Amino acid sequence: MAEIRLNNLVKRYENGFQAVKDANLEIADGEFLVLVGPSGCGKSTMLRMIAGLEEVTSGDVFVGDRRVNNLEPGDRDIAMVFQNYALYPHMTVRQNMSFGLRMRKTPKAEIEKRVADAVQILSIESLLDRRPKELSGGQRQRVAVGRAIVRQPKAFLFDEPLSNLDAKLRVQMRTELARLHQRLKTTTVYVTHDQVEAMTLGDRIVVMKDGIIQQVDSPLNIYRRPVNRFVAGFIGSPAMNFLEGEIADGIFKSGEVAYPLNQNGLSGPAILGFRPEDLTTDPSQPKILDAELEVVEQMGHETIVYFQLAAQPMVARLEGNSGSSPGDRLALGLPQGTWHLFESTGDQKRMSD
Amino acid sequence: MRGVKESRLITLGRHALLLLFVLISVYPALNVLSISLRPGNKLRSTELSIIPENWTLDSYVQLFTEQPFLQWLGNSLLVSLAVTLLGVGLASVGGYALSRYKFVGRQTSMLAILTTQMFPATMLLLPIYVMIARLHLVNTFLGLLIFYTATALPFCLWQMKGFYDTIPFSLEEAARMDGCSRWKTFLKVTLPLAVPGLVITALFSFMTAWSEYIVAAVVLEDREMFTLPLGLKSFQATMSTQWGLYAAASMLVSIPVVVVFMLLSRYLVSGLTVGGVKE
């Protein structure tokens, strides 16, 4: 186990494209860190640079106290789980899992013990003598994880490991990975584009966009205090609503919307962000808008309603079964303290506290 | 499986056509078998049966006792196996380089390799003969080996490159994470998965050398150096042709090839990489 440090990490491809721009990151020993962002944001490239599968253009990668920039992937003492599992098709599960140890000339008894421990943790004892093609997707995933844990490496790297599983299995494997991490406490870097995985698995989340780290924080802090509009829109489902407008005399105005802000010192053009789940029909809360419902989705425990405001699609998530139907007009309130304000220009940084 | 049942007439027509093609391809071989079993030296016969009434194995016996058939067989095996080893060895690493590494001139060299396949072997005959003569390799197996390998390799390279392209790169990355060097990754992961490709390549190399005539006729001069195709042709003299021997030898030359094909046919249908990754 070890901490991982990235100092001014840059990846530039030969065609000039910069996949990772000056990334600095410290991953604590035993931490579960999730790299999240839309495709092409550089998260996988960053992971592969830590693994050693991608050359570092400039900057440093440290695993523990060791600068590993020029070490072969196999010498970095890191294990990786690939998106497509990458199990060796010509080997049995047992051979797949022990391959890395055999390459390191680990004593035979030790290999057997570690494989036995791993299959027990993952409950795949019965699969040991099968080949990958005889396994289901979930079983292959487990073997891929098993291959990583038998190595007892300093860190685990996961590259979108659940994206090939069906929805139900994905949820199941997600909780299993969380349990595994609690048990092994190995430093983990996990790449995903799925924000639910990011929120549920990570001790901290790194949100990336266009090769730049946008925000590094705990899941809840990222949810509550996104540093810019991109992060605000990326984390949370359904995504945050945004309304462009102007602040004057402490009131945010946009078309028919006039919302009083309980925070001083804000003025000028701004974007108001509010989460669908923060909108409420509770009349005691300050009213923000009247919605004419277009689509109503009854989920049982909640109702998701879609409407338009200033020709922009908006979503609200209301508790319980609201009984509304399309065409209804609904007065929606927004409690103070739940809204976010972003600059309307440049990086659209957070303006509010 | 079939949704629509076709009319009986079409089925009959289909089978008649197929039978016709089978006949066309099998008849010559059966005819050769028939000639090889006839007593004496008869090319034509009024008989219709495939196995003649007074059939005999004389031609076969004569082949082994009075003719240097075994010598030729040995020569052919030596040359063909050497070509196979050299061809597969070079194509397995060369194809890998073309498939996995990006280097300057990769595209150009691949095209150049392909272009060499456009020239008929007869056109290359003269220049390569001159080269082999200058190297004092006329009438040597080494000369033949160089010639054969040079003509078989382009195809083998493309074949292997194409096969490596189908093996997911992430398997090699996994092996490198598991502590393999590049070379070890190639030996432990890539090469075992490329076995079907290697088999096809080997088969092609072997066949190229086993059945080649023109080049061998130019390079080899002494009768005891002959490969099987040359030896066969030597039964066909200007004045009289020993049809019985010719036919018997033809049968014996074909058998190994047929056997090898049958043994290796399962590799021709590849499917070894199934299940390792999910795309």
DSSP B162-230: HHHHTS-HHHHHHHHHTT--HHHHIIIIIHHHTHHHHHHHHHHHHHHHHT--HHHHHH--SGGG--HHH
CA distance B257 to chain A (A): 28
Q: Provide the pLDDT confidence category of residue B2 given band limits of 50, 70 and 90.
A: low
What per-residue confidence (pLDDT) applies to A351? Answer: 85
Of B174, B181, B272, the CB nearest to A86: B174
Name the architecture of domain A4-230. 3-Layer(aba) Sandwich (3.40)
Of B171, B180, B275, the CB nearest to A74: B180
pTM for this structure? 0.82
The pairs formed by A311-319 with CB atoms below 8 angstroms and a separation of 24 or more are A312/A242, A312/A243, A314/A241, A315/A238, A315/A239, A315/A241, A315/A276, A316/A276, A316/A279, A316/A291, A317/A238, A317/A276, A317/A277, A317/A279, A318/A279, A318/A280, A318/A281
Interatomic CA distance for residues B204 and B213, integer angstroms: 16
- Counting as low any pLDDT under 50, the low residues of chain A are none
For residue range B16-45, what is the model confidence (pLDDT) as tens digits? Answer: 999 999 999 988 888 888 888 888 766 666
Same domain, B21 and B115: no
Q: Is the pLDDT of residue B6 over 80?
A: no
With CA atoms as reference, the chain A residue closest to B192 would be: A90
What per-residue confidence (pLDDT) applies to B269? Answer: 61
Residue B130 in domain = yes
Q: Measuring CA to CA, how many Å separate A29 from each of A33, A169, B82?
A: 10, 29, 57
Identify the H or E element spanning A215.
strand A212-217
Same domain, B185 and B257: yes
Same domain, B139 and B184: yes
Same domain, B167 and B70: yes
Average pLDDT over residues B4-18: 88
Beta strands in A218-298 (DSSP E): 241-248, 251-254, 257-260, 268-274, 287-298
Q: Is the pLDDT of residue B274 over 60?
A: no
Helices (H), A24-85: 43-51
Average pLDDT over residues B86-102: 93
Average pLDDT over residues B227-238: 83
> For residue B139, what is the domain's CATH number?
1.10.3720.10
What per-residue confidence (pLDDT) applies to B272? Answer: 44
At residue B42, the 3 state secondary structure works out as coil
Same domain, B16 and B102: no
Is there a cis peptide before residue A238, judged by omega within 30 degrees of 0?
A: yes
Residues of B at the A interface, defined by Cβ within 8 angstroms? 168, 170-171, 173-181, 184, 188-189, 192-193, 272-279
Same domain, B157 and B50: no
Of B177, B179, B279, the CB nearest to A80: B177
CA distance B37 to chain A (A): 48
- List of chain A residues whose C-beta atoms are within 8 Å of the C-beta of residue B103: none
Q: Is the pLDDT of residue B97 over 90?
A: yes
Q: Measuring CA to CA, how many Å separate A302 from each of A324, B150, B221?
A: 12, 73, 92
More confident residue, A352 or B185: B185
- The number of folded domains in chain B is 2
Q: Provide the pLDDT confidence category of residue B268 given band limits of 50, 70 and 90.
A: low
- Yes or no: say if B249 and B228 are a contact pair by the CB < 8 Å rule: yes
Residues of A at the B interface, defined by Cβ within 8 angstroms? 51-53, 72-75, 78-80, 82-90, 99-100, 103-104, 131-135, 137, 140, 147, 151, 164
Strands A241-248 and A268-274: antiparallel
Same domain, B146 and B204: yes
Interatomic CA distance for residues A119 and A108, integer angstroms: 17
Which of A77, A83, A99 should we substitute to test contact with B (largest number of B Cβ atoms within 10 Å)? Answer: A99
- List of chain B residues whose C-beta atoms are within 8 Å of the C-beta of residue A131: 275
| Identity at B11, one-letter amino acid code | T
ipTM comes to 0.86
- Yes or no: say if A56 and A69 are a contact pair by the CB < 8 Å rule: yes
Q: Is the pLDDT of residue B108 over 80?
A: yes
Same domain, B130 and B257: yes
Residue B1 in domain = no
Q: Measuring CA to CA, how many Å separate B70 from each of A285, B64, B67?
A: 102, 7, 8
Same domain, B41 and B103: no
Average pLDDT over residues B144-166: 89
Same domain, B119 and B197: yes
Give the count of alpha carbons within 13 A of A233, CB side only. Answer: 14
Q: Is the pLDDT of residue B279 over 50?
A: no
What residues contact A143, with CB distance under 8 A and at least 6 apart?
A85, A87, A93, A96, A97, A122, A124, A127, A132, A135
CA distance A302 to chain B (A): 36
Residue B277 in domain = no
In terms of residue numbers, what domain contains B137?
A: 65-268
b (16+ CB within 10 A) / e for B150-174? ebbbbbbbbbbbebbeebbebbbbb
Which of A84, A104, A149 should we substitute to test contact with B (largest number of B Cβ atoms within 10 Å)? Answer: A84
What residues contact A142, with CB distance under 8 A and at least 6 apart?
A122, A123, A124, A173
More confident residue, B21 or B263: B21
Identify the H or E element spanning A140.
helix A137-149
- Quick check: B176 and A100 CB within 8 A? no
Of B173, B176, B275, the CB nearest to A132: B275
Q: Return the number of CB contacts < 8 Å for A and B.
A: 89
Beta strands in A55-113 (DSSP E): 58-63, 66-67, 78-81
What per-residue confidence (pLDDT) applies to B239? Answer: 66
Q: Return the closest-CA partner of residue B38 out of B183, B248, B178, B211.
A: B248
- List of chain A residues whose C-beta atoms are within 8 Å of the C-beta of residue B174: 80, 82, 86-88, 147
Same domain, B104 and B162: yes
Interatomic CA distance for residues A117 and A115, integer angstroms: 5
| Owner of token pair 């927004």 | A334
- Quick check: B178 and A103 CB within 8 A? yes
- List of chain B residues whose C-beta atoms are within 8 Å of the C-beta of residue A79: 177
- Quick check: B177 and A88 CB within 8 A? no
Query: Nearest 5°: CA angle at A138, between A132 and A144?
Result: 55
Domain boundaries along the sequence of chain A: 4-230, 239-343
CA distance B271 to chain A (A): 10
Same domain, B119 and B180: yes
